Structure 1
Amino acid sequence: MNPNKKWWIDTNIEVLKKNLEARNFECFVVERKEDVVPLLERIVKEGSVVSCGGSMTLFECGVIEFLRNGKFNFLDRYKEGLSGEEIGEIYRKSFWADYYLMSANAITLDGKLINIDGNGNRLAALMFGPKNVIVIVGINKLVLNEQEGIDRVRNIASPMNARRLSKNTPCSSSGRCHDCLSDDCICSHIVVTRRHPVKGRIKVIVVKEELGF
């Protein structure tokens, strides 16, 4: 990595970590996506009930494979052949999980998590339910402030996710948000998590690489 880029990343992550901890989030920093699973091996206890939100980051870091092959009761929303009803049941059971893994659509330098969701199951679990929530974010999700974060989730993350999911929305064609009310809209809920009342329940793993959308 270019030394100037490394300096910028290291300097900003140091500020981010301090601000996350001030908001009652526990923060871990790793260099590469390959470092995520070894860290999870230390955090997630065997025999636990584990679930996850929709996330390309989890696949890119090998987290889904880790959960499938580990000694966990994994509520696997990605299992082939599941009906819509079965997926909905997994969403509901996830509220009782010991660990819920997800990514964030944006994270601000002052330590806020910003997310957008269609069904709202991922954001509901982030806010309340599972005993522990683990949020894995790449350096590309880092923004300066809340407004930049909302702009990012609407005009970068959402169009790419809508296209990935083959949604018939204006953004999946134009690449930018139209504030639509389409039946395929994946932007029903925007949540800014500025702190958490339970210290350490939300654990943020910051990866010094670009991950997901």
Structure 2
Amino acid sequence: MTTIDTSERFTTLPDDATLSATVVALEEHGFSVDVVDDLDAARKAVLTRIPHGSSVMTNTSMTLKETGIEDAIDGGGPYESARNKMLALDYQTQAQEMKVISGQADYALGSVHAVTREGTLVIASASGSQLSSYAWGAANVIFVVGAQKLVPTLEAAHERIYQHSLKLEDVRAQAAYGQHSSVGKVLEIHQELPGRIHVVLIRQVVGF
């Protein structure tokens, strides 16, 4: 019996046939899709879809950081940064207002932890803070996803979360917040009304 190294299993880019089949499945489930070659192209694909002046929430994501999308939105560009507006409030006394701002932006940006061959998007979260906007609250959602996150099944998606993504996120959380991470909630998006959720797939290993 062969033992597969989980990090290699979950960081290998798919072949063109798998990528193409996944794109077709995503489109059949109501998602629109761009496939781009690199980080710069991903950033341009996202920013060109967002009208200037829109309220935009950048949810915590290594992919948004690595592509420069986070800086483009929150660094004083032509958009209304929901994150900046939210962080200006006091969590102890204005938590509900913060939830409204982050959960009901014109555009919610982030990534996913896995995309199945059948076209399901799978996102794990410790607190669930970003999940309400993805599921319902935001008018538009854009996911930026490294193609290494494509997996064959939902079972493989959950394995990827626990065996790969959580381990890396735990290290990040300890460095950023001084505490361990966990999987508190998992959102599976199987179907969406056309036009609301857009997926930008990058032919590179990006994010967790």
TM-score range for the pair, normalised by the shorter chain length: 0.7 to 0.9
Structure 2 CA distance for aligned equivalents of residues 81 and 199 of structure 1: 34
How far 1:82 sits from its partner (Å)? 7.2
Question: Quick check: 1:74 aligned with 2:69?
Answer: no
Identity in percent: 24
Could you report, residue by residue, the CA deviation over 1:81-105 in whole angstroms, capped at 9, with x for unpaired residues?
A: 8754467744431222110000001
How far 1:200 sits from its partner (Å)? 1.9
Q: Secondary structure at 2:159's aligned position in 1?
A: helix
AA partner of residue 144 (structure 1): P
AA partner of residue 70 (structure 1): G
Paired position in structure 1 for 2:62: 56
Do the aligned residues in 2 keep the contact of 1:77 with 1:87 (CA within 8 Å)?
no
Any gaps of 5 or more consecutive residues in structure 1?
Answer: 168-182
Any gaps of 5 or more consecutive residues in structure 2?
Answer: 1-11
Q: Which stretches of structure 1, 4 residues or longer, exceed 3 Å deviation after superposition?
A: 77-91
Q: How many residues align?
A: 192
Q: TM-score, normalised by structure 2?
A: 0.83
Q: Secondary structure at 1:43's aligned position in 2?
A: coil
How far 1:194 sits from its partner (Å)? 1.0
How far 1:119 sits from its partner (Å)? 1.2
Could you report, residue by residue, the CA deviation over 1:133-159 in whole angstroms, capped at 9, with x for unpaired residues?
A: 000100111111100000101111012
Question: Quick check: 1:27 aligned with 2:23?
Answer: no
How far 1:10 sits from its partner (Å)? 2.2
What value does the CA root-mean-square deviation take over the aligned residues?
2.5
How far 1:117 sits from its partner (Å)? 0.7
Give the stretch that moved more between structures: 131-140 or 74-83.
74-83
Do the aligned residues in 2 keep the contact of 1:76 with 1:90 (CA within 8 Å)?
no
Structure 2 CA distance for aligned equivalents of residues 90 and 58 of structure 1: 21
Cα gap change, 1:77/1:103 in structure 2, threshold over 3 Å: closer, same or farther? farther
Structure 1 CA distance for aligned equivalents of residues 126 and 49 of structure 2: 29
Alignment of 1:177-192 (within 5 A): 184-192=180-188
Do the aligned residues in 2 keep the contact of 1:50 with 1:98 (CA within 8 Å)?
yes
Do the aligned residues in 1 keep the contact of 2:56 with 2:82 (CA within 8 Å)?
yes
AA partner of residue 76 (structure 2): N
How far 1:77 sits from its partner (Å)? 5.5
